[in-house]
Structure 1
Amino acid sequence: MNCVTLAEVALKTHQRNPQEWSAKPFIYVDIESVDRILKRIENPKQLIGSEAPSRARKVVNENDVLVSTVRPNLNAVAKVSAAMNDEICSTGFCVLRPDQKKLDPDYLFYFTRHPSFIQYLTDRATGASYPAVSDKIILEAKIPLPPLPEQRRIADLLSRAEAALHKRREAMRLADELLKSVFLEMFGDPVRNEKSWEVKSLEDSCERKGQYGSGASAIPFNNAKPRYIRITDINEDGTLNNDCVSPSTDEAEWADCILKDGDILFARSGATVGKTYHYRKQDGFTIFAGYLIRFRPNPKILHPEYLFYFTKTEAYNKWVKSKQKVVAQPNINANQYGNELILPMPPLEMQRQFAVTVEKSEKLKEKQRKSEKELENLFGALIQGAFQQ
């Protein structure tokens, strides 16, 4: 099959400085705006020109494909919708604007998700702590170029397979929403506390104060070592992604960071501050990194499932946002989590009843995850075969 470089089938793009129109509103897409699992723009920022960061420069049009130049192994890519036409993205993206006389936008989008493209960028990334590639490297990548009708046929096939995968994921999301509703029905709103439960601080509800994780750097996963959980490994729903790494140091440095069943981790810094993860023993031999804080619920008064789903409530999200406003860089330390986060404390037996409901839901979700995995494998096989050179 004929192969060409992306530069040969991409149109030139341009930049614009929003600061030149200080009062004009615009939508800004940074790296964090792209959902790496769904491969789409989820949470772009609404700004005015005077608020534009220095990296807000690249103009995007409908059907452009954005490829993150930072940590290319994570494959943060997205296709620009009509709603984002003539808006701005970060210079941390390479904006691929397909010449639609030669290249179908959806075909290009799926190509940027192909393992060979990801590996091509990963192999050429430079910088140990902040690996990145240039736009030039991305544009030098070669793409198979069948006739446009064949490109559209391939894109349509992949789109239908992906739609089935999204439906499975949506079913799992709705199951999580149902549990949140059950939580509120059983325990009431945590702020109003209309059921007049006793209240305690997080620290007073746990066996010990919040503990920061290991400061070790990450290395490729090693079966002889534990999995090393970082903030970036935790999905929005509290599950773990597949980006497994291990700590670079020996056990003496991280022995006290080994997770135990029921531990809850809280993210303490950056855009993901407040995100939580509930460790269960089926997650295997695991430790946690320094930008996470561990709290271990006191089993006599606090059930881990109750605490975890408390952190999924709107009341908790508002508390996190209120703490973010006090400093320029969002940060909540162990003392703030431990002493300022207040929890209603319903009877432990009620918490256990809720945990039983969660367990039943998790069994159903486990079946859904297996189905999702099968669909992921199907999609992966289709995308693997679609771009063979």
Structure 2
Amino acid sequence: MEIIKLGDLCDLQNGYAFKSDDYIDSSETLNCRMSNIRPDGTFDILYSAKYLPDEYAEIYEDYLLRDGDLIIAMTDMAGDPKILGVPTVVDTKGYNLLLNQRVGKLKLLKEVDTRYLKFALLCNQSRQYLKRFASGGVQLNVSKKDILCTPILFRGLTEQVKMSDTLEKVLRIISLRKKQLFELDELIKSRFIEMFGDPVENTMNWKVCKLGDLSDQINSGNTPKGGEQVYVDKGITFFRSQNVWKDRLEMDDIAFIDKETHENMKRSSLMHGDILITKTGRINTENSSLGRAALYLGEDDAANVNGHVYFIRLKPGVNNEFILKILVSNEYLGYIRSVCVGGIDKRQLNKNHIEDFPIICPPKDMQNKFIDFAHQVDKLKFVS
């Protein structure tokens, strides 16, 4: 076992810059783009499919992909750095696939298990290495040179195959578990619609209140003076937009500020049960950071938020879990995207938008009954 450069094992072929004018309604030839590489390393050629004329498969034969080819994302997808440097193995599903610009094809120079190479590039160390060299404004890019300089832990072919087989078994188990969790979430969503109908269209004619009237406080945080320079290793939890996701808080990339900075930002100090909602983001991406909402369940005055996150502190007696279920529903996502303001590249929710959010107000006993049901379903997620 040794550490070598990726370039010792393979070369990298860049894709072709097909134009939007090249796309047609349907064919047997597709453009393999960034969006077909999923953040978890899986490949989905039919995701946001773009079709090309069938004669392109012959004209651009040098860019034709085959089953088992290993490709890698050289640019983030619509500003989401989770895709940068992600590798995947191609599955053509019988289509002609043509490699697009900013997607690289790794051409093996030595006998290597393609699956092993994918897992090696997908590991956190390789991803972090490439992020260090990424550059750009709206989108981050990594060069062919930097990709081929990525350090790889190299093993003998027999050990590569053995490790790949084991990892694939683990991934199948994880995939099955994700499917189960998704189905439980869908059960909760279905129960909500059954009990309350569409929360935006108000198909059951419930009383509607503005979110501002149900709240004691709605405010965004601030960027502390000095920005990231004031972050510390331990201290007051500091939530940024990348930490606030749909009905959950992600702590992998959490920042901390010291007590003095926190005291200077006292106005945005969080209380247990506050709803956090993100302020800005693009509207045409799968995991847009615009309008994502989650509950803060930590201790009072032990966390703060930056300027890209609003906190909503509801009045006593208002069911924050029920309000959150409304805000994270697919129906409300469409509503949020309809009221936000800004340019094509990035949109924003203003405070007055959030204060004016229409919230259905069914009887409290029905709200509580639904939340009890959601809790019972959530418990099933932890049953082995």
The whole-number CA distance in structure 2 between the counterparts of 1:253 and 1:338 is: 25
3-state SS of paired residue (1:82):
coil
Please tell me whether residue 355 in structure 1 is matched to residue 371 in structure 2. yes
The whole-number CA distance in structure 1 between the counterparts of 2:140 and 2:263 is: 29
3-state SS of paired residue (1:86):
strand
TM-score, normalised to structure 2, is 0.75
- Other-structure match for 2:71: 65
- Other-structure match for 2:100: 88
CA contact under 8 A between 1:24 and 1:48: conserved in structure 2?
yes
Cα deviation, 1:55-74, whole Å, max 9, x if unaligned, reads xxxx7945323255779899
User: Equivalent of 1:298, from 299, 302, 315?
Assistant: 315
User: Equivalent of 2:111, from 94, 98, 102?
Assistant: 102
CA contact under 8 A between 1:72 and 1:121: conserved in structure 2?
no
Matched residue type, 2:248? G
Cα deviation, 1:256-297, whole Å, max 9, x if unaligned, reads 222222211222211321211121237993322211222222
The whole-number CA distance in structure 1 between the counterparts of 2:296 and 2:4 is: 47
Tell me which protein shows more helix as a share of its residues. Answer: 1
The whole-number CA distance in structure 1 between the counterparts of 2:121 and 2:301 is: 32
Tell me: CA distance 1:20–1:333, structure 2 relative to 1, closer, same or farther (3 Å). Answer: closer
- Other-structure match for 1:245: 255
Please tell me whether residue 312 in structure 1 is matched to residue 318 in structure 2. no
- Other-structure match for 1:181: 190
Matched residue type, 1:86? L
- Other-structure match for 1:14: 14
Tell me: CA distance 1:133–1:324, structure 2 relative to 1, closer, same or farther (3 Å). Answer: same
Task: Figure out how many residues of one structure are paired with residues of the other and give that number.
Answer: 351
Greater alpha carbon shift after TM alignment, 75-84 vs 272-281: 75-84
The whole-number CA distance in structure 2 between the counterparts of 1:307 and 1:266 is: 12
Tell me: CA distance 1:234–1:251, structure 2 relative to 1, closer, same or farther (3 Å). Answer: closer
Tell me: CA distance 1:100–1:323, structure 2 relative to 1, closer, same or farther (3 Å). Answer: farther
User: Equivalent of 2:215, from 195, 202, 206?
Assistant: 206
- Other-structure match for 2:59: none
Tell me: CA distance 1:17–1:73, structure 2 relative to 1, closer, same or farther (3 Å). Answer: closer
- Other-structure match for 2:303: 286
Matched residue type, 2:377? S
User: Equivalent of 1:230, from 232, 240, 259?
Assistant: 240
Cα deviation, 1:157-213, whole Å, max 9, x if unaligned, reads 1111122122223322222222112211221222442332101122122223x3112
Cα deviation, 1:39-81, whole Å, max 9, x if unaligned, reads 34679555699xxxxxxxxx79453232557798997624153
Tell me: CA distance 1:2–1:314, structure 2 relative to 1, closer, same or farther (3 Å). Answer: closer
The whole-number CA distance in structure 2 between the counterparts of 1:231 and 1:323 is: 19
CA contact under 8 A between 2:75 and 2:141: conserved in structure 1?
yes
Please tell me whether residue 259 in structure 1 is matched to residue 247 in structure 2. no
Tell me: CA distance 1:17–1:78, structure 2 relative to 1, closer, same or farther (3 Å). Answer: same
Residue 116 of structure 1: CA displacement?
Answer: 4.1
Residue 338 of structure 1: CA displacement?
Answer: 1.8
3-state SS of paired residue (1:16):
coil
CA contact under 8 A between 1:72 and 1:118: conserved in structure 2?
no
The whole-number CA distance in structure 2 between the counterparts of 1:353 and 1:20 is: 50
RMSD between superposed Cα atoms in Å: 3.8
CA contact under 8 A between 1:228 and 1:246: conserved in structure 2?
yes
Structure 1 unaligned regions, length at least 5: 50-58, 372-389
Greater alpha carbon shift after TM alignment, 222-231 vs 256-265: 222-231
The whole-number CA distance in structure 2 between the counterparts of 1:283 and 1:101 is: 57
Greater alpha carbon shift after TM alignment, 114-123 vs 184-193: 114-123
Cα deviation, 1:194-235, whole Å, max 9, x if unaligned, reads 332101122122223x31122133469746422222222234
The whole-number CA distance in structure 2 between the counterparts of 1:314 and 1:72 is: 24
- Other-structure match for 1:374: none
Greater alpha carbon shift after TM alignment, 255-264 vs 1-10: 1-10
CA contact under 8 A between 2:4 and 2:151: conserved in structure 1?
yes
Please tell me whether residue 151 in structure 1 is matched to residue 157 in structure 2. no
Cα deviation, 1:57-116, whole Å, max 9, x if unaligned, reads xx7945323255779899762415324932435x4x6x3514175222211110013344
CA contact under 8 A between 1:65 and 1:105: conserved in structure 2?
no
